Chains A and B, each alone.
Chain A
Amino acid sequence: MLEHLLEQAETIVMPIIGHRVWVVDSTNDLHSHFWNVRWPVRKMMTSTCRIGFGACQLTAADGNRRNEVQHHCGIYAFKTEDLLHAYLRDMDETSHCFPANMYTDSHDLVLGTVYLWGKVVECRDGYRAECAYPQGIYQSVWSAVKTTRLEKIAKLYGISCAWQEFVEPGYSF
C-alpha cells in the first residue's frame, strides 16, 4: 500500500509543521511520551524502526520494504492542535489520567509544534516523519509545567515558547 503511495510522492522544500506532545524529564530534556526516546538538543530527531527488520518504509536504506505495511514507524504529529487535544482527551478518558512515560517516570507533559521533513507519511489526522525538530512549545491546560520551566526548555532547544489560553467549550478539567 505504501509502496504505491511512494511512487506518487511529491517533493516539497518547506518543512511540514505538526502538533505533538512530549514528556519532559528532570533535566528539561524532551522525551517521547510513548517510547524510551530522548529528543536530542539542537540535533535533528531521526526515526528508527522499532520492529527491527530494518525494512520500514521510513528507515530502509537498502530498498527492502517487504514489511512496510505492518509498520507504523515514524515521528508522530497531528495536523492540527484540535486533533492533538482530541487525542489527549481520548487518552485521558480511556485511562482516567494521562499515563506517565514509563521510562522517565515523569507526568510532566509539554505541548508544542514540530518541524517534520525527510520521508513523511501523511495520514488522515497527522503525519509520520523520518526527521523532526521541535518548532516551539506552549503553555497548555494539559501541562502542569510552569512557564519559567517552559522558557528553560525552549532556551535549551533553541525554540520559541508561548503562553496559550485553550479552554474547550463544555469540557472541564
Chain B
Amino acid sequence: MSSVGEPQRIIIVEPLFEPVPQELPEITVEPIEVPEEEPVGV
C-alpha cells in the first residue's frame, strides 16, 4: 500500500483553465511631468 492508502475512486478533473501562472511581462513606468500650478490666493 502506498503512503496515501488504498484507491477509492477515480476523478476526472478538467479545469476550465490550467492553474499554472504565466510569466508577467516587464512593466516600465515612465515618469509624468506635472506642471506646477500657480498658487491660488484665498
C-alpha gap A28/B14 in the complex (Å): 30
Is chain B's interface secondary structure helix, strand, loop, or mixed overall? Answer: loop
C-alpha gap A21/B7 in the complex (Å): 21
Once the chains bind, are A2 and B19 in contact (CB under 8 Å)?
no
Q: Which residues of A (111-160) have their CB < 8 Å from a CB of B?
A: 115-129, 131, 133, 135, 157-159
User: Any chain A CB within 8 A of the CB of B11?
Assistant: yes
Once the chains bind, are B11 and A16 in contact (CB under 8 Å)?
yes
In-complex Cβ contact of A124 among B5, B19, B23 (8 A): B5
CB-CB nearest 3 A-B residue pairs: A124-B5, A158-B21, A126-B4
C-alpha gap A119/B4 in the complex (Å): 16
> For this complex, into which size category does the number of interface residues on chain A fall?
35 or more
User: Any chain B CB within 8 A of the CB of A61?
Assistant: no
Q: Which residues of B (1-42) have their CB < 8 Å from a CB of A?
A: 2-16, 18-23
> Interface on B for A, CB 8 Å cutoff?
2-16, 18-23
User: Any chain B CB within 8 A of the CB of A96?
Assistant: no
Once the chains bind, are A121 and B13 in contact (CB under 8 Å)?
no
Other A-B pairs beyond A10-B11, A87-B3, 15, CB < 8 Å: A6-B10, A8-B10, A9-B9, A9-B10, A11-B11, A12-B12, A117-B18, A121-B9, A122-B9, A123-B4, A124-B8, A128-B7, A133-B18, A133-B19, A158-B23
On chain B, the residues within 8 Å of A128 by CB distance are: 2, 4, 7
In-complex Cβ contact of A119 among B8, B12, B18 (8 A): B12
On chain B, the residues within 8 Å of A158 by CB distance are: 21-23
Interface string of A49-75 (1 = CB under 8 A from B): 000000001000000000000001000
